[in-house]
Amino acid sequence: MSALTLERIAKNYGEVETLKGIDIALESGEFLVLLGSSGCGKSTLLNIIAGLAEPTSGDVRIGDRSVVGVHPKDRDVAMVFQSYALYPNLTVARNIGFGLEMRHVPAAEREKAVREAAALLQIENLLDRKPAQLSGGQRQRVAIGRALVRRPKIFLFDEPLSNLDAKLRMEMRSELKRLHQMLKTTVVYVTHDQIEAMTLATRIAVMRNGVIEQLDRPEAIYNRPATLYVATFVGAPPMNLLSATTTPEGLSIAGLETPLALRHGLEAGRPVTLGIRPEALGLAARETALAFHAELAELTGPELVVTGTVGGQKLVASLPPASGVSPGDRATLFAAPEAFHLFDPATGLRLNRDR
Amino acid sequence: MSSTWLTTRAWLLMLPLLAVMIAVIGWPMAETVRLSFTDAKLVGLTGHFVGLDNYAKILSGSNFRGTLSTTAFFAIVSVGIEMVLGVLAALLLNQQFYGRTLLRALMILPWALPTIVNATLWRLIYNPEYGALNAALTQLGLLGEYRSWLGEPGSAMAALILADCWKNFPLVALIALAALQSVPRDLIAASLVDGASALNRFRFVILPYLAGPLMVALVLRTIEAFKVFDIIWVMTRGGPANSTRTLSILVYQEAFSFGRAGSGASLALIVTLMVTLLALAYGALVRKAAGSAA
């Protein structure tokens, strides 16, 4: 039995189709990240799971119970918001225990649960403060604590780290990972941050225009993106895209004289979009080579990000700083055959026959 | 440029305004204080210095105390009703429904009317011979014969309070409605997921955002109600049998109807002092409320 099942979920706001048939089955203990840019429908989907919005059609099941039309409080879910959404005139302790208080849990039991959650989140010393006296990171810990004490079937997170500064965001990310590993909870987590998605998720659903483009484990999303959109959304700097045509032995890249040797299993003469991740390119000799003309080199610290052209088409490569490539240099870049992703330029779908 | 010159220039620039303010506020105020220590009549305004006699007479007389309690009754009851009605109206108008914008605009209308117009309107409604209230109540079978609503001490105050509430609850509703828009949507959503009932949601989620602005509305309305004059003057002139006579009416009667400028001035200063104290107390409350909500 799945912990959460979404079946053909559609949501229309007037003429606008925000969600167009979403299917997800989530096992207990999974950490699902809904990833996409703003307006893709990920928050709407989360609200539908929470019961804060109702789907136009489709079914939501928590465990084996359909919860469509069930009030949020009766769904056994807890939610953490981007804005923390703490009750401003209640202390931290009462904020954390609010859900239990509203459910008439006896005070002693409530206090014990609050203490446990606070200990887990290392905010025991803040229990008597008001939200206004807390930092952003502390507030988000309180909000997570408020969800934890309820021991719900499903935790819902709506961009919980987006309001934090970069350092704190990384800290809280590890914290969430630690909590999930320890508590083995079932989580649905909405974000537009691909790093959060990659690091936290057991599975990622990349969403775009109300549909799921790909639902898979993080490494599969990264290594075998199902569509051009997924390929360019995940990864920084984003994947390079080159126009090419298939030949019997490989690929002919537009603007490049020598064709690329690559086994692709596609009929010859077919136009494709070739995707290569900047970090998959290197100077060490490998199977496949690309003649590269460097134009700009940016040192980020651990990497030297070199922008240039391959046959007149733009290409970015993340190289070791020691490679010493500088603007004006001509270099040969190498990559392993599995680093070449082929997409249909018209549909954006992946063409590689994956092993 | 030296700072003394800057200061001097600032004062020079403000001088014309200061002169006007002294002429229209400062001097009359000083005159009022001076008159309050004399037995001056309205005609001539010359009188003898009588020290604190006026104050002593007013504070020990039953007229003042009776009027003070009438004023307090009017202020507390009408402001209380306005606050409750205003918040309820705001909660209603904050819901999502068809025609909401129209209703929001309509609600402002009573408040947009000049007080004199509102008072005249209600005097017509309460008219003992052809008033709409009498007609409505008798036609509904709730009233046997026409009554003089403003002519009977028992009903005049209630009728006045109703007219005042009708005019002023929209102000409270407007302020409360604006405050309601500032309640974060996420907070409402969180309380839904946490399982808070409608009453608890109001108490823990909405009220914290409503308290500060409502306090401001309370201050404004109480001070206005405490020095109420125009609506009463138009509708009842303080009658019948002084049952609707408030402090401002008393001041007017003392100074202008009876021509006793001296004691009228003392009375006016007492009322001013009371309103000032009220404003100061409320000011402290507002600052406290603002501090806790932040």
Q: For residue A49, which of A11, A101, A93, A98 has the smallest C-alpha distance?
A: A11
Mean pLDDT of B54-62: 86
Rounded Cα gap, residues A287 and A296, in angstroms: 26
**CATH superfamily of the domain spanning B53-293:** MetI-like (1.10.3720.10)
Inspect the interface and report whether the beta carbons of B204 and A51 lie closer than 8 Å: no
- Tell me: the pLDDT tens digits for B72-103? 999 999 999 999 999 999 999 998 889 888 99
Interchain contact, B204 vs A98, CB within 8 Å: yes
Q: How far is A279 from chain B (nearest CA, A)?
A: 39
pLDDT value of position A299: 93
Partnered with residue A20 across adjacent β-strands are A10
The tokens 């009766």 sit on which residue? A74
- Name which of A72, A74, A83 is nearest B184 (Cβ-Cβ): A83
pLDDT at B69: 92
pLDDT bracket for residue B1 (50, 70, 90) = low
Chain B hits for A98, Cβ within 8 Å: 194, 196, 204
- pLDDT value at residue B95: 87
Q: With a CB-CB cutoff of 8 Å, which residues 92-111 of chain A face chain B?
A: 98-99, 102-103
Side chain identity at B109, as an amino acid letter? L
Structure tokens belonging to residue A254? 């537009």
Q: What is the mean pLDDT of residues B124-138?
A: 90
Tell me the shortest Cα–Cα distance from A196 to chain B, in angstroms.
22
List the pLDDT tens digit at each of the 355 positions of chain A. Answer: 689 999 999 999 988 999 999 999 999 999 999 999 998 999 999 999 999 999 999 999 999 999 999 999 999 999 999 999 999 989 999 999 999 999 999 999 999 999 999 998 889 999 999 999 999 889 999 999 999 999 999 999 999 998 888 888 998 999 999 999 998 999 999 999 999 999 999 999 999 999 999 999 999 999 999 999 999 999 889 999 999 999 988 889 888 888 888 888 888 899 999 999 999 999 888 778 888 999 999 999 999 999 999 988 999 999 999 988 999 999 999 998 889 999 999 999 999 876 4
Q: Which CATH class is domain A4-231?
A: alpha beta
User: B294: pLDDT confidence band, cut at 50, 70 and 90?
Assistant: very low
- The reported pTM is 0.79
Contacts of A132 in chain B (CB under 8 A): 294
Residue A120 contacts B, CB cutoff 8 Å: no
pLDDT of residue A3: 92
Percentage above 70 pLDDT, chain B: 97
Residue B190 to residue A73, Cβ atoms within 8 A: no
* CA distance to partner chain B, nearest, from residue A67 (Å): 14
Q: What integer pLDDT is reported at residue A355 of this predicted model? A: 47
Comparing A26-30, A151-155, B144-148, B207-211, the range with the smallest average pLDDT is B144-148
Domain boundary assignment for chain B: 53-293
Question: Looking at this protein, which amino acid is placed at residue B55?
Answer: Y
Residue among A73, A86, A90 whose CB faces B193 most closely:
A73
- For B249-287, what is each residue's pLDDT tens digit? 999 998 888 888 888 999 999 999 998 898 888 888 777
Q: Supply the pLDDT for residue B290.
A: 60
Report whether pLDDT(B119) > 70: yes
Q: Which residues 6+ apart lie within 8 Å of B204 measured at CB?
A: A87, A89, A90, A98, B191, B196
DSSP, collapsed to helix, strand or coil, labels residue A106 as: coil
Instruction: Tell me, yes or no, if A14 comes closer than 8 A to chain B by beta carbon.
Output: no
- B203 has a chain A CB within 8 A of its CB: no
**Where do the structural domains in chain A lie, given as residue ranges?**
4-231, 236-343
> From CA B260, how far away is CA B264, in angstroms rounded?
6
Q: What are phi and psi of B63, to 5 degrees?
A: -55, -50
In the block, which residue shows the tokens 């609050």?
Answer: A114
CB contacts of B200 in chain A (<8 Å) are 102
**E strands, B81-220, in order:** none
Please tell me if residue B216 touches chain A, with a CB cutoff of 8 Å: no
Distance between CA atoms of A205 and A34, rounded to whole angstroms?
A: 5
| Alpha-carbon distances, residue B181 vs A248, B102, B173, B206, B209 (angstroms) | 65, 18, 12, 10, 9
